[in-house]
C-alpha cells in the first residue's frame, strides 16, 4: 500500500498537562511498540497537544511534536481535530495520555495496512467490569460503549479527508459519533481479536489528576462498596460476651 511520505503512524495524544507522569508512560509505550515492530525513526511520529497550557514533550527515541494549543477544555475533542490536521502519517492511532499501547500494537497494525479501519481489542479491566473492549457477540459491533478510540488504527485519508477530521465537538458522545462516521465511510474494515492497548493504565501515576470519567468510575465503586457494607452485617466474633 502506498503511503504519504515516509511516516507510517501518527500517534494522536491530547493532554491537559496535569498528568505528566502518565503522559511520559504513554509516550514510552509508543517507543516500546515501535521498537518491537522494527520501525525506523522516520516511520513514527507522536503528536502531543497541550490543551490551553504550555507543555514540553516527553523524551523519546522517536520524534515527538508538542503543541501548546488554545484552551478547548472539551475532553480533548478540539485538540484531536487540530492534531489530525497536523499529522503526516498514513495511519492514525489515538492514544490519550492516561492510556498505553501494548508492545505488540504497531506490529499488529502493520499486518493490516491495506485496511482503512482496523478494530482491535483493548484491556478494560482497570476501567470496567469486563476484561476487554470491544465485546464480540451477536449484537452490533458499533453499539454505544463497545468500541474505544484506543481500539482503532485508521487511514488518515479516511479521517481527515473524507470525514472532515474530528467532528461532533460539543456532543457528550462525540467519540462514539466520530467512530460511527469512520466505520460508515470506511472502504475496508478489519476486526482483530488481539489486545493492542490498556485503558487507564496511567491513572494512578499523578495524584489528583483523574479525568471526569475516572472520577465518576471511582465514585461509583465507592458508592457500591458503601451500599454493600450497609447491606452486609459484620459477623459476630465468637468468645466475646457483652456486659
Q: Can you give the pLDDT at residue 210?
A: 57
Q: Can you give the pLDDT at residue 233?
A: 53
Q: Can you give the pLDDT at residue 73?
A: 74
Separation of alpha carbons 86 and 13, rounded Å? 12
Under 8 Å CB-to-CB from 69, ≥6 apart: which residues?
Answer: 49, 50, 51, 52, 78, 79, 82
Q: For the chain, which residues score pLDDT lower than 70?
A: 1-5, 208-243
Under 8 Å CB-to-CB from 61, ≥6 apart: which residues?
Answer: 31, 34, 35, 41
Evaluate whether 67 touches 46 at the Cβ level (below 8 Å). no
Q: Provide the CA 25 distance to its chain's centre, in angstroms.
A: 13
Grid cell at residue 52: 490551553
Q: Can you give the pLDDT at residue 240?
A: 34
Q: Can you give the pLDDT at residue 175?
A: 94
Q: At which residue does the C-alpha cell 459519533 appear?
A: 177
Q: Can you give the pLDDT at residue 213?
A: 54
Task: Report pLDDT digits (tens) over 66-122.
Answer: 999 988 777 789 999 999 999 999 999 999 999 999 999 999 999 999 999 999 999
Amino acid at each position: 500500500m502506498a503511503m504519504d511520505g515516509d511516516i507510517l503512524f501518527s500517534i494522536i495524544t491530547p493532554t491537559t498537562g496535569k498528568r505528566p507522569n502518565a503522559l511520559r508512560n504513554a509516550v514510552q509505550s509508543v517507543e516500546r511498540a515501535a521498537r518491537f515492530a522494527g520501525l525506523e525513526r522516520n516511520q513514527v511520529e507522536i503528536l502531543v497537544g497541550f490543551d490551553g497550557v504550555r507543555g514540553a514533550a516527553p523524551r523519546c527515541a522517536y520524534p515527538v511534536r508538542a503543541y501548546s494549543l488554545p484552551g478547548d477544555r472539551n475532553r480533548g475533542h478540539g485538540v484531536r481535530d487540530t492534531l489530525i490536521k497536523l499529522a503526516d502519517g498514513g495511519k492514525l492511532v489515538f492514544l490519550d495520555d492516561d492510556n498505553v499501547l501494548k508492545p505488540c500494537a504497531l506490529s499488529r497494525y502493520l499486518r493490516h495496512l491495506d485496511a482503512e479501519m482496523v478494530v482491535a481489542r483493548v484491556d478494560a479491566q482497570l476501567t470496567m467490569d469486563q476484561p476487554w473492549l470491544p465485546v464480540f457477540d451477536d449484537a452490533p459491533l458499533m453499539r454505544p460503549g463497545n468500541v474505544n478510540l484506543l481500539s482503532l488504527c485508521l487511514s488518515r485519508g479516511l479521517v481527515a479527508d473524507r470525514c472532515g477530521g474530528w467532528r461532533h465537538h460539543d456532543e457528550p458522545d462525540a467519540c462514539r459519533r466520530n467512530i460511527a462516521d469512520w466505520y460508515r465511510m470506511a472502504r475496508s474494515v478489519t476486526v482483530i481479536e488481539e489486545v493492542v492497548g490498556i485503558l487507564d493504565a496511567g491513572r494512578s501515576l499523578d495524584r489528583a489528576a483523574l479525568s471526569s470519567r475516572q472520577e465518576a468510575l471511582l465514585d461509583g465503586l465507592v458508592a457500591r462498596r458503601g451500599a454493600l457494607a450497609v447491606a452486609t452485617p459484620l459477623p459476630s466474633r465468637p468468645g466475646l460476651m457483652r456486659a
